[in-house]
Amino acid sequence: MRCWKRLAGLACALLCAVVVQGTTLVRMDLDQLAASASLVARVRCLGNEVRVEGGEIWTFTRFEVLETLKGSAPSEINVRLLGGRMGGFVSTVDGVPRFREGEQVFLFLESTRAGDFSVTSWVQGTFRIRRDNLARELVTQDTSGLAVFDPATRQFRPGGVRRLPVEEFRQRVRAAVERQQRSKQ
């Protein structure tokens, strides 16, 4: 009987065990993001829906497309990202951005097999738009405060775009897209 109790306790411990895995993102600059993305757009979040697909919790965010800097898109797109909250269950994946209804962001996006989009390199492909106290729109990359692995220096360090005026951000992205297109020729 004591053996069964130990086995039952062990089984329970194994079932309740949580596997903790970290997310490591390899640093991507604007040129690399532009090369990987099929669409770069300024979008406004219209809302989120959480669903289970393939045994995983996914968050599907619907966006209104306000402007495109690369590629073409319909007036509304859907972005799927792993994780979310459904009932009493929460699935969190480090490095996956989340969006609030009404907020505007620039996203570097890749098409998925399902016909929607995913954010290129997750938080690295996410650039939040905020207004400063002078009502100027500024862009900040989600990774600006996150340590990301830089293969050139073989170190983790924070970086990314921080408080860049929107027009300067547009110019940098357009230049990166042009360089990427020239390199394909």
CATH number of 153's domain: 2.40.50.120
**Domain assignment of residue 79, yes or no:** yes
User: Pairing state of beta strands 117-119 and 126-131?
Assistant: unpaired
Domain region containing 81: 20-184
Express each pLDDT in 37-75 by its tens digit. 999 999 999 999 999 999 999 999 999 999 999 999 999
pLDDT value at residue 25? 62
Express each pLDDT in 69-115 by its tens digit. 999 999 999 999 999 999 999 999 999 999 999 999 999 999 999 99
**Domain assignment of residue 72, yes or no:** yes
CA dihedral 95, 96, 97, 99 (to 10 degrees): -160
pLDDT value at residue 17? 33
**Domain assignment of residue 175, yes or no:** yes
Residues 147 and 164: beta-carbon distance below 8 Å:
no
**Domain assignment of residue 108, yes or no:** yes
- Report the number of distinct structural domains present in the chain: 1
DSSP 8-state assignment for residue 26: B
pLDDT value at residue 63? 98
**Domain assignment of residue 6, yes or no:** no
Those residues with Cβ within 8 angstroms of residue 75's Cβ, 6 or more apart along the chain or in another chain? 64, 65
**Domain assignment of residue 28, yes or no:** yes
Express each pLDDT in 118-163 by its tens digit. 999 999 999 999 999 999 999 999 988 877 777 888 988 777 899 9
**Domain assignment of residue 10, yes or no:** no
Check pLDDT > 90 for residue 20.
Answer: no
**Domain assignment of residue 65, yes or no:** yes
pLDDT value at residue 146? 74
